[in-house]
């Protein structure tokens, strides 16, 4: 009996404790939930189009020689930075030098013949004034001078040709660039058309992205941002050209350049996002969204009833997001007051205390 009385007292104590706890819960539930809200505004809807691209070098030059010859000097190595006009390599030009010397000697001979013909014509002109020479002899000497002058011109052209051929034995950089490949070695015999080395202008790189044709007509107001592989920061880029490609790909090439200096190399992979402006409509901060296990999405709205604010859950259909805001395609209207802070544990119809009550 004594044991039964002890058990009964224990049960009564537990009941009192449970009643106190339930009363406390009821008081907590009766308290207003403190929340922060925001008016839904009519804002431009930004569609984000994800892109995958790469870095390319529009100025890439595979150098070759216009003359055949043996490589006499190599002045640069793989990976060197070179400036426009800087000597890269030279071919053996000794044979061409000898031909230029012969051409110079021919010029000297032709100039002497021209001077002799001019002197003979001057003498004929003086004799003609004294009527001591026939007109036919005077014409013959005029023709001899003309022939001598023509031969001198030919010899000078021949000399200029050898000057040009000698200059072609030296390969120079056509622009500021990086040596990315060298295909010739000292002492090697090269012929015209052989690739000697490859230069890439890494200071004028371009960003290439294939983009669906559906975005072609919306590019005028589009914004492009890029992110390097492994980086978390987005960088602004300036679109430069839109180049249609093969119609079967249903894409066009978007070529852009970075808006700020970045450490880029040809062939690097890039991630891009193209921000396309669309029609205006309601949007809410991402923090206002409640995602349910069944895949549905809802927001909590604050509505005023009988001088009190109450919480009501509203399912919504969402669109694309940008900079922390998400477009709402259906479910709410502009002017609604959506709860953005304190929406984790609300109940339908629960009274609210608005932090930002205006």
Instruction: For 28-74, give the DSSP string.
Output: HHHSPEEEEEEE-EEEEEEEEEEEEEEEE-S-EEEE--SS-EEEEEE
| In a shared domain, residues 83 and 102 | no
| In a shared domain, residues 137 and 244 | no
Q: Please give the pLDDT value at position 75.
A: 94
| In a shared domain, residues 187 and 222 | no
- Residue 80: both structure tokens together: 């060197």
- Residue 73: both structure tokens together: 């000097």
C-alpha R_g of the chain: 44
Query: What is the spatial distance between Cα 162 and Cα 111, in angstroms, rounded to a whole number?
Result: 18
Nearest Cα residue to 172 out of 196, 208, 144: 196
pLDDT in tens, 150-188: 999 999 999 999 999 999 999 999 999 999 999 999 999
| In a shared domain, residues 71 and 192 | yes
Q: Which residues contact 5 (CB under 8 A, 6 or more apart)?
A: none
Burial (CB < 10 A; 0-12, 13-18, 19+), residue 75, is middle
Flag whether 286 is in a domain: no
Residue 105 has pLDDT above 80, yes or no: yes
Which range among 27-36, 61-70, 234-243 has the greatest average pLDDT?
61-70
Sign of CA dihedral 325, 326, 332, 333: positive
How many residues in total does the chain contain? 358
pLDDT in tens, 292-340: 888 899 999 999 888 889 999 999 998 877 777 888 888 888 989 999 9
| In a shared domain, residues 192 and 248 | no
| In a shared domain, residues 105 and 84 | no
- For the chain, the domain total comes to 3
Flag whether 136 is in a domain: yes
| In a shared domain, residues 72 and 197 | yes
Domain limits for position 247 = 49-59+202-278
Query: What is the spatial distance between Cα 116 and Cα 353, in angstroms, rounded to a whole number?
Result: 116
249: helix, strand or coil: helix
| In a shared domain, residues 118 and 186 | no
| In a shared domain, residues 217 and 182 | no
Residue 5 has pLDDT above 60, yes or no: no
Cβ atoms of 266 and 55 within 8 Å: the answer is yes
Cβ atoms of 302 and 35 within 8 Å: the answer is yes
| In a shared domain, residues 86 and 180 | yes
| In a shared domain, residues 206 and 255 | yes
Residue 14 has pLDDT above 70, yes or no: no
Flag whether 24 is in a domain: no
CATH code, domain carrying 236? 2.40.30.170
pLDDT in tens, 238-253: 988 888 876 777 889 9
Average pLDDT value over all residues in the chain: 85
């Amino acid at each position: 009996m004594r044991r039964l009385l002890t058990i009964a007292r224990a049960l009564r104590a537990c009941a009192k404790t449970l009643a106190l706890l339930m009363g406390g819960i009821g008081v907590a539930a009766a308290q207003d939930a403190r929340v922060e809200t925001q008016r839904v505004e009519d804002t431009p809807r930004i569609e984000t189009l994800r892109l995958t691209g790469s870095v390319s070098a529009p100025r890439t030059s595979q150098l070759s020689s216009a003359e055949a010859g043996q490589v006499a000097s190599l002045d640069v190595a793989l990976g060197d930075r070179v400036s426009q006009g800087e000597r890269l390599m030279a071919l053996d030009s000794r044979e061409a030098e000898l031909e230029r010397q012969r051409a110079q000697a021919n010029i000297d001979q032709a100039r002497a013949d021209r001077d002799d013909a001019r002197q003979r014509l001057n003498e004929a002109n003086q004799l003609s004034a004294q009527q001591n020479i026939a007109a036919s002899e005077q014409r013959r000497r005029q023709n001899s001078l003309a022939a001598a002058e023509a031969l001198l011109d030919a010899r000078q052209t021949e000399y200029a040709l050898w000057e040009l051929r000698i200059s072609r034995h030296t390969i120079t950089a056509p622009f500021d660039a990086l040596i990315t490949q060298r295909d010739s070695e000292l002492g090697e015999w090269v012929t015209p058309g052989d690739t000697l080395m490859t230069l890439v202008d890494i200071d004028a790189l371009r960003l290439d992205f294939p983009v669906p044709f559906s975005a072609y007509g919306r590019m005028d107001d589009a914004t492009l941002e890029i992110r390097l592989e492994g980086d978390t920061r987005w960088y602004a880029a300036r679109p430069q050209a839109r180049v249609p490609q093969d119609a079967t790909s249903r894409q066009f090439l978007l070529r852009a350049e970075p808006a700020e200096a970045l450490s880029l190399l040809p062939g690097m992979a890039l991630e891009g996002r193209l921000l396309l402006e669309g029609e205006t409509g309601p949007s809410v901060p991402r923090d206002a969204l409640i995602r349910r296990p069944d895949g549905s999405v809802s927001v909590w709205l604050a509505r005023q009833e009988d001088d009190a604010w109450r919480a009501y859950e509203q399912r919504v259909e969402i669109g694309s997001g940008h900079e922390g805001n998400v477009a709402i395609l259906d479910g709410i209207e502009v002017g609604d007051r959506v709860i953005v802070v304190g929406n984790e544990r609300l109940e339908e119809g629960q009274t609210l205390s608005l932090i930002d009550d205006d």
